[in-house]
């Protein structure tokens, strides 16, 4: 994991870490072979650090963990889902600028 502010998510810890979280959560569904995923990885790390204590940020490798991405119908990556109260409240698909990620997050803080 690239940053101590990012939670590595698995099919088994997703419910506890994200759905049961008291904080809004940003989840990055990614894969090692995905170029756009590598492009936004530093942005995700920066958001994890800047929003620490206000937003839980997690990453899930879709090649290693397939149950949760299928459940949320992740069809292309990177897909970023925003959760609040255990529900999806926002979605961003593709590599986008940091400002767009922050704009989407701030709606749910």
Could you report the per-residue pLDDT of 47-78, keeping only the tens digit for each? Answer: 999 999 999 999 999 999 999 999 999 999 99
What residues are labeled active site? Answer: 34, 37
Domains and CATH numbers, the chain: 6-106 (3.40.30.10)
List per-block mean pLDDT (blocks of 10 residues) for the chain, which spans 109 residues.
84 97 96 96 95 96 97 96 96 94 92
* pLDDT recorded at residue 1: 46
Beta bridge partners of 17: none
How far is 5 from 107, CA to CA, in rounded Å?
21
């Amino acid at each position: 994991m690239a940053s101590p502010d990012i939670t590595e998510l698995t099919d088994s810890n997703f419910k506890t870490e994200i759905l049961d979280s008291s904080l809004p959560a940003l989840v990055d569904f990614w894969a090692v072979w995905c170029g756009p995923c590598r492009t936004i990885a530093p942005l995700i790390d920066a958001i994890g650090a800047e929003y620490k204590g206000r937003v839980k940020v997690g990453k899930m490798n879709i090649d290693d963990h397939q149950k949760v991405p299928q459940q949320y119908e992740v069809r292309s990556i990177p897909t970023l889902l925003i959760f609040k109260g255990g529900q999806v409240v926002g979605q961003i698909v593709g590599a986008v600028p940091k400002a767009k990620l922050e704009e989407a997050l701030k709606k749910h803080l």
